[in-house]
């Protein structure tokens, strides 16, 4: 796409801002490129394309583009496919709100109601700052009155990118689970007795409102004028760690989707998140985005490991054991991105080290589940497991021990699998807190390969043996163990 064409379409868009969003976006489609030729994700970014998702393992790149501009992609990939309309920006004809995603008003009502229903656990939403257009950005704290008085904070946020509502659904699900399962589920009880969970469900309320009633394509904030004319600033490139380091995944061009703004923290939304995170001083965080099915950890500004690489890697392996998300650094999975929120929250001298992850929820495009409550429930449950595992790992690391009903102190965990790769039989070393254990092995597409259970193994360290079933193809597999309400897992490879 030539820059001039991009600019003129944006100017046209601004001129049309009195029209309904559906009319503005009616000609934009989501296309999937497979088999890139003579170009890279970096060069597509540099050319100003709106790259919405990348999966280098599965060899695809998705781009939001005017239908009239699709021909500019023809030389760049072996295959170009327009994705189904439900993946794009077309609105359901009678949508009064955001469908099964929560609209801004519904979101506020949900948290206010949850706080009224569970006043001992859920605090009413608290305004932590204002957006560019003056809307409140709010946080919700969930914790119990039991446990130590000085509990560590763990932070989750969503909708920094306004067209990515899946992360907000994950916030709703996680808050609901914590509140309703406290005193029922030992893990929910443990988390709330030992930490304060801080959720900021809508970091970019202006953009989210602009995208109502769902289906809109606004990614950035709604600051179109300061200090230069633009179509908004990419808040997730506006954070203060390595802001604009080398233009990777971060653009100085005001009309690019990844425009980083005039200076680090130039935007009220990022400045709000900055002061908020500094004030709660969290030990860990997840920044939710969509879509793509990925768990990402720093560094993001360059494709290099942090001093916490081995912790990030082993936690990510456990966190993704159930949903099979790919995990790694941004530069390994997609492309490096300067000045993102995750790097800043991890390496920031203004507060303690915060083990920060980013998630690309495995939604069907940005708005693809708008009319599909089952899909929203499914991806929310998958992400709930990641949230739980992060909390458990963080608390475990700070020396707070999990005690199950049986009195065994510690988490259910897979301590080791060997040999890996496995040929015929594998030794499993696990730690079990309670009286029964179920083991299930899945392939990468989620198909059950084998399962077995033990009625009363000794609690504590336990050695098991698993024989690879005849005919199991070579490949990567996921092993999930379950005991009581706990789940843990590991990946391994079968190589015959």
Task: Please state the closest distance from residue 249 (CB atom) to Zn ion, in A.
Answer: 11
Give the nearer residue to Zn ion in terms of CB position, either 135 or 161.
161
Give the nearer residue to Zn ion in terms of CB position, either 164 or 267.
164
Give the nearer residue to Zn ion in terms of CB position, either 161 or 260.
161
Task: Please state the closest distance from residue 299 (CB atom) to Zn ion, in A.
Answer: 17
- Taking phi first (over 0 means left), then psi (-120 to 50 degrees means alpha), and beta for anything else, what does residue 96 get? alpha
Task: Please state the closest distance from residue 382 (CB atom) to Zn ion, in A.
Answer: 18
Task: Please state the closest distance from residue 171 (CB atom) to Zn ion, in A.
Answer: 15
Give the nearer residue to Zn ion in terms of CB position, either 173 or 234.
234
Residues 250-289 contacting Zn ion, CB under 5 A: 289
Task: Please state the closest distance from residue 45 (CB atom) to Zn ion, in A.
Answer: 14
Q: How far apart are CA 273 and CA 288, in angstroms?
A: 14
Bridging pattern class, strands 294-297 and 326-329: parallel
Give the three-state DSSP class for 179.
Answer: helix
Task: Please state the closest distance from residue 161 (CB atom) to Zn ion, in A.
Answer: 3
Cis peptide bond prior to 227, omega within 30° of 0: yes
How many Cβ atoms from other residues are within 10 Å of residue 147's Cβ? 16
Residues 102-161 contacting Zn ion, CB under 5 A: 161
Residues 289-318 contacting Zn ion, CB under 5 A: 289
Site string for Zn ion, 69-98 (x = CB under 5 A): ------------------------------
Task: Please state the closest distance from residue 159 (CB atom) to Zn ion, in A.
Answer: 9
Give the nearer residue to Zn ion in terms of CB position, either 288 or 402.
288
CA 125 to chain centre: 22
Site string for Zn ion, 154-193 (x = CB under 5 A): -------x--x-----------------------------
Q: Cβ contacts of residue 332 below 8 Å, gap of 6+?
A: 303
Give the nearer residue to Zn ion in terms of CB position, either 42 or 193.
42
Q: In this structure, are residues 190 and 70 in contact, taking their beta carbons and an 8 Å threshold? A: no
Q: How many residues bind Zn ion (CB under 5 A)?
A: 3
| Cα→Cα distances 300→107, 220, 310, 339, Å | 30, 19, 16, 8
Q: How far apart are CA 164 and CA 205, in angstroms?
A: 12
Give the nearer residue to Zn ion in terms of CB position, either 115 or 337.
337
Task: Please state the closest distance from residue 292 (CB atom) to Zn ion, in A.
Answer: 10
Q: In this structure, are residues 233 and 223 in contact, taking their beta carbons and an 8 Å threshold? A: yes
Give the three-state DSSP class for 11.
Answer: helix
Angle at 15 between CA 14 and CA 20, to 5 degrees: 80
Give the nearer residue to Zn ion in terms of CB position, either 160 or 393.
160
Give the nearer residue to Zn ion in terms of CB position, either 289 or 384.
289
Task: Please state the closest distance from residue 366 (CB atom) to Zn ion, in A.
Answer: 9
Give the nearer residue to Zn ion in terms of CB position, either 164 or 196.
164
Buried b (16+ CB within 10 A) or exposed e, 294-328: bbbbbbbbbeeebebeeebeebbbbbbbbbbbbbb
Give the residue from 284, 261, 257, 432 showing the smallest Cα distance to 354: 284
Give the nearer residue to Zn ion in terms of CB position, either 152 or 214.
214
Q: Cβ contacts of residue 447 below 8 Å, gap of 6+?
A: none
Give the three-state DSSP class for 384.
Answer: helix
Give the residue from 209, 198, 178 showing the smallest Cα distance to 106: 209
What is the arrangement of strands in the sheet containing 77-82, beginning at the earlier edge strand? 50-55, 60-66, 28-36, 77-82
Task: Please state the closest distance from residue 61 (CB atom) to Zn ion, in A.
Answer: 15
Task: Please state the closest distance from residue 257 (CB atom) to Zn ion, in A.
Answer: 10
What does the binding site for Zn ion look like in residue numbers (CB under 5 A)? 161, 164, 289
């Amino acid at each position: 796409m030539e820059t001039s064409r991009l600019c003129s379409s944006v100017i046209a868009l601004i001129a049309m801002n009195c029209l309904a969003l559906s009319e503005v976006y009616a000609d934009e489609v989501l296309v999937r490129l497979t088999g890139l030729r003579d170009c890279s994700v970096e060069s597509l970014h540099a050319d100003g394309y709106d790259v919405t998702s990348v999966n280098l393992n599965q060899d695809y790149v998705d781009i939001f583009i005017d239908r009239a501009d699709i021909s500019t992609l023809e030389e760049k990939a072996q295959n170009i496919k327009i994705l189904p309309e439900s993946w794009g920006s077309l609105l359901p004809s009678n949508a009064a709100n955001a469908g099964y995603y929560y609209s801004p008003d519904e979101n506020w009502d949900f948290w206010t109601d949850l706080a009224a229903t569970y006043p001992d656990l859920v605090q009413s939403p608290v305004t932590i700052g204002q957006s560019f257009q003056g809307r409140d950005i709010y946080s919700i704290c969930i914790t119990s009155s039991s446990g130590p008085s000085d509990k560590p904070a763990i932070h989750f946020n969503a909708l920094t990118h306004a067209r990515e509502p899946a992360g907000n659904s994950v916030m709703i699900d996680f808050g609901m689970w914590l509140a309703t399962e406290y005193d029922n589920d030992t893990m929910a009880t443990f988390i709330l007795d030992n930490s304060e969970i801080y959720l900021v469900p809508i970091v970019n309320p202006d953009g989210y409102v602009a995208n109502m009633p769902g289906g809109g394509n606004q990614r950035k904030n709604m600051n179109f004028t300061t200090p230069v004319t633009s179509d908004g600033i990419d808040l997730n490139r506006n954070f203060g760690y390595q802001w604009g380091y080398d233009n990777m995944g971060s653009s100085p061009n005001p009309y690019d989707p990844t425009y980083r703004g005039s200076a680090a923290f130039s935007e009220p939304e990022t400045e709000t998140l900055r002061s908020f995170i500094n004030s709660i001083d969290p030990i860990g965080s997840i920044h939710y985005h969509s879509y793509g099915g990925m768990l990402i950890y720093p560094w993001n500004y360059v494709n290099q490991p942090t001093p916490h690489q081995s912790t990030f890697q082993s936690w990510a392996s456990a966190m993704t054991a159930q949903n099979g998300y790919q995990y790694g650094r941004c530069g390994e999975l997609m492309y490096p991105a300067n000045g993102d929120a995750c790097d800043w929250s991890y390496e920031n001298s203004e507060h303690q080290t915060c083990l920060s992850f980013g998630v690309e929820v495995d939604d069907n495009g940005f708005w693809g589940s708008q009319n599909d409550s089952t899909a929203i429930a499914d991806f929310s449950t998958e992400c709930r497991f990641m949230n739980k595992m992060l909390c458990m790992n963080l608390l475990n690391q700070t020396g707070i021990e999990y005690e199950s009903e049986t009195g065994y102190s510690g988490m259910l965990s897979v301590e080791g699998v060997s040999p890996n790769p496995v040929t015929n039989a594998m030794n499993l070393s696990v730690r079990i807190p309670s009286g029964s254990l179920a083991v299930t092995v899945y392939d990468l597409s989620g198909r059950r390969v084998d399962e077995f259970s033990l009625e009363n193994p000794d609690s504590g360290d336990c050695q098991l043996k698993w024989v690879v079933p005849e005919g199991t193809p070579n490949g990567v597999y996921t092993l999930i163990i379950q005991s009581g309400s706990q789940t843990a897992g590991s990946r391994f490879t079968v190589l015959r």
